[in-house]
Structure 1
Amino acid sequence: MMARKFSEREKEIIRERLVEAGKECFGVYGLKKTSIEQLTKAAGIAQGTFYLFYPSKEELYFELLELEEEKVRRQLLEETEETGVMTKERFVRFLRKSLSVMGENPFFRQLYEEEVMEQLVRKLPPEKLAAHFDKDADVALPFIRRWQEEGWLTSHKPEIIVSLIRSLILLTMQKWLIGEDVYDETMELFIELMADGLMTK
């Protein structure tokens, strides 16, 4: 039996449905526990149709991850649009915003909490992953580099500063270990110390 041919408009609608289904299913169940059947059922299409658009569920997940990264970049950009001198207060706001938008995002949480990256590396074409990381996959990296060029941040490797921010985000997932009664003050102190240590002025 020949696969049905879809018009360009139908393809656009199906892709939009799959993207929404992916956001819903991956957000709730994660990459490992989400099946093609769940995705196609949520999108209202046949399982065979899925493969006309994506070779695997990992390809869909990866596309969504890139969309989420772009959304986070825009959110962080809002925190950096203020012109003039970079102050400690502005940098602290940036760190708080980074924690909020990345720590609460289910896609980023899964990358940190589960073996999702390992699964993506196994399933995705190496050239796709390489192209992704060449685009500065770490959403904070472009901002760090810019502030270093402007002379507001120390000359540590930008990747190390991003790693500090990533480490801070990891702490948001250990609230119960830190202790809920001291968590908020602990995180605020971490942010203050990071700002003091990284600002040059």
Structure 2
Amino acid sequence: MGRKFSEHEKEYIRKRLLETGKNMFSTYGLKKTSIGDLTKSVGIAQGTFYLFFKSKEELYFEILEIEEERVRKSLLSEHFISEELTRARFKQFLKQAVSIVETNPIFRQIYEEDVLEHLMRKLPPEKWEKHMIKDFNMSLPLISHWQKEGRMVDLDPELIVSMIRSLILLTLQKKIIGEQLYQPTIELFIQFIADGLVKKEDLRHD
């Protein structure tokens, strides 16, 4: 039988697995990182890993959710919490979101088609469904707030979230779009989204 860990030890090991996983997945990628690599770095037996996560894909997915939450809070607090929503501010928010996806290795991998398909095969469908619902529910209050204040057009909030996701997915098409046209295409798409969703200041009601 394996040794029993105290609650403090469990908390420490879980934290180390998350930290080590983030570093290794960012450096080597999901597919090239093995459970043996992770446990060796943390200093635990491979069997101990399964006390915390069912697979390396599950560990990766939890790291992804933590990263998404961290970035979401940072972006929203920087652009919207204490200031009025404007088209210019919303454009800057979208540009920064695209930049994060393009440069953050964890996000970059999840939006690469082969890694996404790999995760979808390995993880239970209900985990993905829960993730999508959580993502939408976290965006809904802010979108509803902007709509009630007359700052954003009165569209289905789920459609608005989908439009923003479509911008992120467009970053996968850089090779197809072409190096010279990619950046102007992204910028034009951002402009269309911001102009289409955020009302002009002189058209807002009190």
- Equivalent position of 2:153 in the other structure: 154
Code of the aligned partner of 2:81: E
Give the secondary structure class of the aligned counterpart of 2:155.
coil
Decide whether aligned partners of structure 1 residues 170 and 135 sit closer, same or farther in structure 2, where only a CA change above 3 A counts.
Answer: closer
Task: Report the number of matched residues.
Answer: 199
| d(CA) in 2 for partners of 1:144, 1:103 | 25
User: How far off is 1:162 after superposition?
Assistant: 2.2
| Percent of aligned pairs with the same amino acid | 59
Decide whether aligned partners of structure 1 residues 42 and 137 sit closer, same or farther in structure 2, where only a CA change above 3 A counts.
Answer: farther
Question: Would you say the 8 A contact 2:111–2:172 is kept in 1?
Answer: no
Give the secondary structure class of the aligned counterpart of 2:164.
helix
| d(CA) in 1 for partners of 2:101, 2:89 | 18
Decide whether aligned partners of structure 1 residues 173 and 189 sit closer, same or farther in structure 2, where only a CA change above 3 A counts.
Answer: same
User: How far off is 1:158 after superposition?
Assistant: 2.1
- Equivalent position of 1:190 in the other structure: 189
User: How far off is 1:50 after superposition?
Assistant: 0.7
- Which consecutive unaligned segments of at least 5 residues does structure 1 have? none
- Which consecutive unaligned segments of at least 5 residues does structure 2 have? 201-206
Code of the aligned partner of 1:60: L
Is 1:80 the counterpart of 2:80? The answer is: yes
User: Per-residue CA shift, 1:151-198, capped at 9, x if unaligned?
Assistant: 222222222222222222233333344343443333222222222222
Decide whether aligned partners of structure 1 residues 38 and 120 sit closer, same or farther in structure 2, where only a CA change above 3 A counts.
Answer: same
Decide whether aligned partners of structure 1 residues 22 and 164 sit closer, same or farther in structure 2, where only a CA change above 3 A counts.
Answer: same
User: Per-residue CA shift, 1:56-109, capped at 9, x if unaligned?
Assistant: 21221121121111112112212212334x221111122112212334332332
User: How far off is 1:130 after superposition?
Assistant: 4.0
| d(CA) in 1 for partners of 2:57, 2:19 | 15
| d(CA) in 1 for partners of 2:29, 2:110 | 10
| d(CA) in 2 for partners of 1:139, 1:96 | 20
| d(CA) in 2 for partners of 1:57, 1:108 | 16
Question: Would you say the 8 A contact 2:29–2:109 is kept in 1?
Answer: yes
Code of the aligned partner of 1:38: D
| d(CA) in 1 for partners of 2:141, 2:8 | 36
Decide whether aligned partners of structure 1 residues 182 and 118 sit closer, same or farther in structure 2, where only a CA change above 3 A counts.
Answer: closer
- Equivalent position of 1:49 in the other structure: 48
Decide whether aligned partners of structure 1 residues 140 and 116 sit closer, same or farther in structure 2, where only a CA change above 3 A counts.
Answer: farther
Decide whether aligned partners of structure 1 residues 75 and 127 sit closer, same or farther in structure 2, where only a CA change above 3 A counts.
Answer: same
| d(CA) in 1 for partners of 2:175, 2:61 | 30
- Equivalent position of 1:174 in the other structure: 173
User: How far off is 1:47 after superposition?
Assistant: 0.7
